[in-house]
Amino acid sequence: MEDLAPFRPLGEENEHYWLVQRMAKATGVDLVRAWDQGLLTHDDWAAIVTRCRGCRWAEGCDHWLDLPTDADRDLPHSCLNKTRLAKIKATLEESTT
């Protein structure tokens, strides 16, 4: 039998919308360019924010994002959207080469 996590209510939508925005900015993922190039749809965006809302690391994420830095950072391993955001970033980087 699978080890299922207990039900966890989703976090506040607006808060997680801004966490995703901040995560993208801190890691150099250009969401506007991704949108303009068709790499990000309304459904994709909603799924990313919803996935963030269900993340157990949201408080840690907020603290991580508050750490001062002058350079883009690698996406943290704990981010539930790490794979999706990394794919967007890689695709955008490939399109500029």
Determine contact, residues 31/40, Cβ cutoff 8 Å. Answer: yes
Q: How far is CA 23 from CA 5, 6, 15, 69, in A?
A: 25, 26, 12, 13
Residue 6's pLDDT band (cuts 50, 70, 90)? low
Determine contact, residues 23/66, Cβ cutoff 8 Å. Answer: no
Quote the pLDDT of residue 1. 43
Q: Reply yes or no on whether the pLDDT at 90 is more than 80.
A: yes
Count of helices and strands (H, E) across the chain: 5, 0
Average pLDDT over residues 46-56: 94
pTM of the model: 0.86
Name which of 3-17, 42-56, 79-93 the model is least confident about.
3-17
Say how far apart CA 87 and CA 84 lie, in whole Å.
5
Q: Reply yes or no on whether the pLDDT at 17 is more than 70.
A: yes
